[in-house]
Amino acid sequence: MANEHLALDATHDPQRLSWVESANSADTEFPIQNLPFGRFRAGAQEPWRIGVAIGNQVLDLQAAGLLDHGDMNRLMAAGPQTRRRLRQALSQGLTAGAPQAATWRDALVAMDSVELGLPCRIGDYTDFYVGIHHATAVGRLFRPDNPLLPNYRWVPIGYHGRASTVLASGTPFHRPRGQVKPAGDAPPALAPSSRLDLELELGIFIGTPNALGEPVPLAEAEDHVFGLALFNDWSARDFQAWEYQPLGPFLAKNFASTVSPWIVTLDALAPFRRAFERPAGDPQPLPYLDSAANQASGAFDIALEVVLQTATMRAAGQAGETISRSNYADAAYWTLAQLVTHHSVNGCALAAGDLLGTGTLSGPQPEQAGSLLELTGGGQRQIALANGEQRRFLEDGDAIALRGRCERAGFRSIGFGTCVATVLPARPL
């Protein structure tokens, strides 16, 4: 693991304030210590431009003279040194009293006045299964005596998903149709999913590519990661139960996934690293997936939250209700460096903009589950909401919002924005 990822510098100084006043608010997700990257446009006919979130504003990097192009994937592919130099320039220029304020003010646009899209072009998508508490809870539903399969503690499990249906936050999607198998001897039938679920995840965005046939060593893996975003891998549990054997997820997963608009860089996350520890008695990873540096600081302390807003709540002007809270560091059995290294160990070429989902990040306690499948015991019980409604799985009109926040004494808190989407009724055939 490169030492640059661990270094704290002036960009992390909690006393640093910005001339963008909203960035100095105690509750902002985007103080000057964060500076996440994303794409925005003023209208549907406009090209996407690269922006950095600062308070409630977006700084247009081309208009500010910091880039001569608007291609996020090109920026991501340029490597960690380019990203760090840009972060340094942004931090200095946005600091209160900086001379750049005179010209950069014209490069600011209000975040709520523009469209925020996918943070980059997503060429490929792999979903992992790093949440050990999720894997155990789901496995227990089907294999009470043997919830975790033998390979789980040895190899990061993943499958290749569908990049074309990864949606920008705020984009609604229709309830999917697929084959559902009733109990007993009845044949399967084509039907809208009645067990539609969310999955609380993080998305890992690849920056620097690796050449075909050249594995990425663990010590270099984080140099290939641009940053993290919130990610919801919607799942049709009734399709999944029927189709997943023998080749795994298909229509149960490929109809929609939602990603938040801002990529929080590993540089911004440096103050929130934690030691990565496996439970006592578990086997250590194979040597290519293990190092002292990864053990010392491979985990990230990111508090996560799932908020459900029903159509009834929305009509009444009520905010959504938090139904789960967990933490990335407590949930993940594998680090992001291990995922990159294992993904490439066979020679697989990763490209700038590729997305790796972590899998569902459930905490160790039942109420920290990152899916309704777990919260309801496989649909056997309902969760009660404060307005009197109940849910086993998602209904039409339900909206799910994911949120993430990093906090540590002595540092400014930073956030990820919101990853949100609403379920629409199934389209008629």
Through-space distance between the first and last CA atoms of the chain, rounded to whole angstroms? 52
Tell me whether the omega of the peptide bond preceding residue 246 falls within 30 degrees of 0, making it cis: yes
Q: What is the dihedral of CA 23, 24, 26, 27, to 10 degrees?
A: -10
Closest CA to 33 of 15, 59, 7: 15
Residue 262's alpha-carbon distances to 30, 356, 368, in angstroms, are: 10, 15, 24
Using CB atoms within 10 A of its CB, is residue 403 exposed (0-12), middle (13-18) or buried (19+)? buried
Q: Cβ of 290: how many Cβ atoms within 10 Å? A: 13
Rounded to whole angstroms, the Cα distance separating 265 from 374 reads 31
Rounded to whole angstroms, the Cα distance separating 377 from 187 reads 26
Closest CA to 339 of 250, 237, 222: 222
Q: Count Cα neighbours of 39 within 13 Å in the Cβ-side half-sphere.
A: 24
Q: Which of 5, 134, 342, 343 is catalytic?
A: 134
* DSSP string of 95-117, one letter each residue: BTT-TTHHHHGGGEEEGGGSEE-
For this structure, is 342 an active site residue?
no
Active site amino acids: 134
